[in-house]
Amino acid sequence: MSVGESVARKDGPDKVRGRTRFVDDYQPEGCWFGATVRSAIPHGRIRQIRFPSEIPWDRFVVVGAGDIPGRNCVPFLTEDLVLLADGYVRHVNEPILLIAGPDREAVHEAARAVEIEYEPLPAILTLDEAMAAGSTEGCAVPRPISIVRGDLDEGFAQADLVVEGTYEVGHQEHVYLETNGFIAWWEPDGQVAVRGSLQCPYYVQRALKMVFDLPDDKVRVIAAPTGGAFGGKEDFPSMLACHAALLSRAAGRPVKVVYDRREDFTSTTKRHPARVHYRTGVRKDGTFTACSVEFALDGGAYITMSPVVLSRGVIHASGPYYYPAIEVRGRCYATHTPPNGAFRGFGVPQAFFGIERHVDRIAARLGLDPLEVRRRNLLKQGMRTATGQLLKEGVSAAEVLADAVARSGYEEARRKPRLQDGVLHGVGIGLYMHGAGFTGSGEARLKSLVGMRLTPDGRVEILTASTDMGQGTLTVFPQIAARAMNVDFDRVFVAEPDTGRVPDSGPTVASRTVTIVGRVVQQLGEDLAARIRAFAAEQFGGDQEDYALSGDSVVRNSSGEPVASLAEVASRMHEAWGDVYLERGYRLNPEIRWDEARHEGDAYPVFAWGCVVVEVTVDPDTLEIHPVRVTASHDIGTVVNPTLAAGQIEGGIAQSIGYGLFEEVHWNAGEMLNPGFTNYIIPTTVDLPDMDVGFVENPFSDGPFGAKGVGELPMHGAAPALANAVAHATGIEVDQLPVTPERLLAARLEQEQRDTWEALGARGGAETRGGTK
């Protein structure tokens, strides 16, 4: 079965029978449960810790910073993140102590009972406060990032109008249905092993090595089937794995730490809140002459992924549009809140809420249709992006826009009266792109290694560190390999991501799994097929070119006549060589040039493009907003598996609709007030319409069979499209997410007040000025 076919996912049958075992489905013999004692204040020193006598402490083990054999650090881009607070806390719910015991309810009871006395220090709790303070307090804030291109003064001078807007987005929680969890145990030879819900086995290995001061071969990380992640299991698992391992070491037995929903909400990473300010010079015909962007992120209390989130946000801040002159300045601030981390899109959804709302604002000021303003400014092949990257590969901005608009009935919806059947109607567009893979030379630095093994019975095993969190790695990699080798899909399978067996193909992030790692899978498949053909030549005579693989056999190339089964040939190869295992690394296109310091050059190997059109109704009695029609068009290059790809698009759009309409984290003194599904709202089945999802295929020359990345792309457009549709329906512009009925009402009252004052001012002004201008 080939690339381009909607093969049913390999792990589907187990999933629909409840046979798939997630972390909490394992209960090893004698395994204890772990719980975490966390900070109650956002910033301060720990004065005293008391263990009340009602708890039988001799039945538990308790672990603190002093029990860490290596470094008290969870390494990412920097080494500022502390594994366990050591006398000093930087955010509410920062881990301080760990407790393990035989009964799950009892160990959480014990954790709640611990009494901690603090000496509070002043805390910075919001982006506003941080920007006002220029917050560099405590952890050093990553340096600002700037992109400059063209002559801004000249650009603004040519503008007929300058349009400004400020757009704000808050935290977003991933809400994977399976919470974070790990099981840790120690082998007799001193090796620590963990099994967890995670995206990046080798990130976790790196952390364990540092915390326990162990070499590679003494640290084993196994990725369990992961029940959703969306970036929320990119960085956080490194901390949780080390916690579980510390407890296991102290208890002398396996320990399982699984967060309940409340703890997962309050204590793990979220999307960075952002404030984005656009200042755009435009001509009367809607074309852009210049743009200046200020991009501010709230990183929380530790740096974690912030420098890269900032970088990606800044690079994408210009959107799918061409500007003769553009400047983007980005800065990440620190606050005394739980550190924010990776979340699908990674700075880009924040930027696109700004960009796409701003385009509609520009259109409104000019009296043009927002579709028209987009059309007149699109990036095209041969143009350069804000970082100066020459767009050599197909640029599909115009195509996806046209396709989505055509299928959505947009133009008809724009022309119809706003009020129909007692309900207000509106339609809005989101147009976007996403650069797949690590930024710049990141993929060259990663040197992703993939392994491929021919088993003695002639099946093909793919060994990578890429995990399957629902997106279909276990299915798509075999499709690619099967096509590359021309063997049956059913003969190809993916090894469990276990650092004891698989090489480091890099993290399962950045929309890189298919387009980067999958590329190596394709190349390795071709290599392995060549080896098999060469061996066949040795065994059966002739040259390598005389043979081919087909289905489950080796055949004569000229006639297609089978020579031997793959199983037979594999068995002979194993006899001759002992094992048949190949490895290959990803080779980044050497033409890619990136200057990290100036953020200039080729940011990504290729961009994927998308457009979503959302139609909403707004109920005049309640201002309830409901998406009634969603139409999307995406260019992700060659679509390896249409059903799985459409599933990614539909899921990403749904997550963006949640971001746009419902999802909001409420805070009080640095603590999350709504850590549950009752008050952190994600869409249910009845909150979403059917979605019409289509693809425009513009193959990527360096992707496996032309595939680009898809994971994050669909996150970017629906939220701004919703806000734009609401503005169309009601005439009210809301520049903050989520666009709730409450915000809509408040914005309308504000607008009415402004109009009233303007009207009064105009009358009064004429009187006092006595008619002069």
Residues 130-159 binding other proteins (CB under 8 A) are none
* Contact between 662 and other proteins per CB under 8 A: yes
Please tell me whether residue 622 binds other proteins under the rule CB under 8 A.
yes
Among 397, 612, 646, 696, binds other proteins (CB under 8 A): 646
Residue 316 binding other proteins, by CB under 8 A: no
Contact between 310 and other proteins (CB under 8 A)?
no
| Of the candidate residues 347, 647, 703, 711, the single one contacting other proteins (CB under 8 A) | 647
Residue 45 C-beta: closest distance to other proteins, Å: 27
Exposure string (b/e) for 12-32, b if CB count within 10 Å is 16 or more?
eeeeeeeeeebbbeeeeeebb
In the complex, minimum distance from the CB of residue 137 to other proteins, in angstroms, rounded to a whole number: 29
- Contacts (CB under 8 A) with other proteins, residues 509-568: none
CB nearer other proteins, residue 54 or residue 412: 54
Which of 187, 666, 755, 760 is close enough to bind other proteins by CB under 8 A?
666
Q: 3-class SS at 209?
A: helix
The residue count of the chain comes to 773
Which neighbouring-strand residues pair with 613? 429, 631
Question: Does residue 496 interact with other proteins by CB under 8 A?
Answer: no
751 lies in the site for other proteins, by CB under 8 A: no
Of 24 and 546, nearer to other proteins (C-beta) is 24
| Under rule CB under 8 A, residue 769 binds other proteins | no
Q: Is 18 in the site for other proteins (CB under 8 A)?
A: yes
Min separation Cβ 458 and other proteins, Å: 26
Of 280-288, 439-447, 597-605, 688-696, the window that binds other proteins (rule: CB under 8 A) is: 688-696
Among 11, 94, 234, 504, binds other proteins (CB under 8 A): 11
Closest CA to 462 of 500, 490, 502, 432: 502
Contact 351, 147 (CB under 8 A): no
DSSP state string for 618-666:
E-TTT--EEEEEEEEEEE-BS-S-HHHHHHHHHHHHHHHHHHHHT----
Question: Is 295 an interacting residue with respect to other proteins (CB under 8 A)?
Answer: no
Establish if 230 lies at the interface with other proteins (CB under 8 A).
Answer: yes
Q: Where are the beta strands (DSSP E) in 88-186?
A: 88-89, 95-101, 115-120, 145-149, 161-169, 181-186
- CB 277: neighbour CB atoms within 10 A? 17
**Ramachandran angles phi, psi of 116, nearest 5°:** -125, 135
Footprint of other proteins on 562-581 (CB under 8 A): none
Least spacing, CB of residue 650 vs other proteins, in Å: 4
Of residues 447-476, which lie at the interface with other proteins (CB under 8 A)?
469-472
Q: Which long-range contacts (CB under 8 A, 24 or more apart) does 473-478 make?
A: 473/508, 473/513, 474/9, 474/10, 474/11, 475/7, 475/8, 475/9, 475/10, 475/11, 475/641, 475/644, 476/513, 476/514, 476/518, 476/640, 476/641, 476/644, 477/517, 477/518, 477/521, 478/10
Is 243 near other proteins (CB under 8 A)?
no
Stretch that binds other proteins, among 360-368, 404-412, 515-523, 638-646 (CB under 8 A): 638-646
Q: Which tokens in the block code for residue 733?
A: 């512009």
Residue from 78, 158, 643, 751 that binds other proteins (CB under 8 A)?
643
Smallest separation (angstroms) from other proteins to the CB of 747: 12
Residue with Cβ nearer other proteins (440 or 651): 651
Measured CA to CA, the distance from residue 750 to residue 753 in angstroms comes to 5
Strands (E), 542-641: 547-550, 553-556, 562-565, 581-585, 594-595, 600-601, 607-618, 625-635
* Residue 5 engages other proteins in binding (rule: CB under 8 A): no
Q: Is 607 helix (H, G, I), strand (E, B) or coil?
A: strand
Choose one: 80-88, 227-235, 432-440, 502-510; the region binding other proteins (CB under 8 A): 227-235
CB burial of residue 292 (10 Å; 0-12, 13-18, 19+): buried
Q: How far is CA 732 from CA 420, 723, 726, in A?
A: 18, 9, 7
Stretch that binds other proteins, among 108-116, 302-310, 487-495, 542-550 (CB under 8 A): 108-116
Do the beta carbons of residue 448 and residue 704 sit within 8 Å?
no
Residue 768 binding other proteins, by CB under 8 A:
no
- Least Cβ distance, residue 6 to other proteins (angstroms): 7
Phi and psi, residue 450, nearest 5° = -120, 145
Rounded Cα–Cα distance for residues 337 and 89 (Å): 10
Q: Does 56 bind other proteins (CB under 8 A)?
A: no
Name residues contacting other proteins, limited to 160-189 (CB under 8 A). 174-179
Least distance to other proteins, CB of residue 472, Å? 7
3-state secondary structure 703-731: CHHHECCCCCHHHCCHHHHHHHHHHHHHC
Binding residues for other proteins restricted to 690-709, rule: CB under 8 A: 690-691, 693
Give the tokens for residue 390: 């020459």
- As separate numbers, helices (DSSP H) first and strands (DSSP E) second, the chain gives 19, 31
Question: For residues 24 and 568, which CB has a smaller minimum distance to other proteins in the complex?
Answer: 24
Taking the complex as a whole, the smallest distance from the CB of residue 633 to other proteins amounts, in Å, to 16
Instruction: Give all strands (DSSP E) within 170-309, no chain letters.
Output: 181-186, 192-196, 219-223, 255-258, 274-282, 288-298
Binding track over 66-105 against other proteins, x by CB under 8 A: ---------------------------------------x
Q: Which is nearer to other proteins, 228 or 601 (CB)?
A: 228
Near other proteins in 260-279, by CB under 8 A:
260-261
Residue type, 388: G
User: Cβ closer to other proteins: 680 or 705?
Assistant: 680
d(CA 557, CA 564): 13
**Residues that contact other proteins, how many (by CB under 8 A):** 82
CA triplet 60, 66, 72: central angle to 5 degrees? Answer: 115
Question: Which stretch, 17-25, 120-128, 290-298, 350-358, contacts other proteins (CB under 8 A)?
Answer: 17-25
Residue 746 binds to other proteins (criterion: CB under 8 A): yes
Segment lying near other proteins (by CB under 8 A), choices 115-123, 147-155, 596-604, 640-648: 640-648
CB of 290 to other proteins, least distance (A): 38
126 interacts with other proteins by CB under 8 A: no
Which listed residue (354, 507, 637, 651) binds other proteins by CB under 8 A? 651
Q: Which helix (H) or strand (E) holds 747?
A: helix 741-768
